[in-house]
């Protein structure tokens, strides 16, 4: 299977692409879009297939893998981020990374809430201690 780089190299040397980018906006060989389109279909089918395997770390590893592959291809190729200058790339892709902090905080907080609920809202255990 040809990689994205190979497809691009086949389409023309780096220099030609840069010049095209400078003068006519994002113009790339149509072949690369068909490749990514096909890959997105395959990854979607595979991530749907994970619904049929047993829950666990392996399944979640696959779900996240296919999710990031799909997201990466959409952003890099369909949205042309791979060909943008670094200043734009980092300005757009960098800030969302802080969301990892939010995810971490909310996961910890959710666990705490769950434990609190189990502690206070669940059926009281049978107590054998005297009433008074």
Partner 1 sequence: MPQDGMSAIAHEQSPEGWRSIVTDWSADKQTFHVPWGKAMMWIFLVSDTFIFSCFLVSYMNVRISTAVPWPNPSEVFALQAFGTDVPLLLIAIMTFVLITSSGTMAMAVNFGYRGDRARTTSLMLITAAFGAVFVGMQAFEWTKLILEGVRPWENPFGAEQFGASFFMITGFHGMHVSFGVAYLVIVAIKVWRGDYERAGGNYEIVEIAGLYWHFVDLVWVFIFAFFYLW
**Applying CB under 8 A, which residues contact partner 1?**
22-28, 30, 33-34, 36-37, 40-41, 44, 47-48, 50-52, 63-64, 66-67, 70-71, 74-75, 77-80, 84-88, 90-92, 95-96, 99, 102-103, 106-107, 109-111, 113-114, 117-118, 121-122
What is the smallest separation between the CB atom of 9 and partner 1, expressed in angstroms?
19
Residues 6+ apart with CB under 8 A from 26: 80, 83
* Residue placing its CB nearer to partner 1 in the complex, 85 or 132: 85
Quote the least distance from Cβ 61 to partner 1, whole Å. 12
Q: Are 66 and 43 in contact (CB under 8 A)?
A: yes
In angstroms, the CA 53 to CA 69 distance is 20
Smallest distance, partner 1 to C-beta of residue 126, A = 20
**Is the CB of 121 or the CB of 132 nearer to partner 1?**
121
Task: Give the contacts of 121 (CB within 8 A, at least 6 positions apart).
Answer: none
Neighbours of 116 (CB within 10 A): 10
């Amino acid at each position: 299977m040809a990689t994205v780089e190979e497809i691009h190299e086949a389409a023309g040397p780096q220099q030609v692409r840069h010049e095209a980018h400078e003068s006519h906006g994002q113009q790339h060989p149509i072949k690369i879009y068909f490749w990514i389109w096909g890959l997105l279909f395959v990854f979607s089918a595979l991530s749907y297939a994970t619904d049929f395997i047993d829950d666990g770390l392996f399944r979640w590893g696959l779900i996240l893998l296919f999710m990031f592959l799909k997201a990466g291809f959409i952003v890099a190729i369909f949205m042309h981020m791979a060909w943008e200058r670094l200043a734009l790339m980092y300005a757009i892709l960098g800030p969302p990374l802080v969301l990892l902090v939010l995810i971490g905080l909310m996961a910890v907080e959710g666990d705490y809430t769950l434990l609190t609920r189990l502690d206070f809202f669940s059926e009281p255990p049978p107590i054998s201690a005297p009433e008074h």
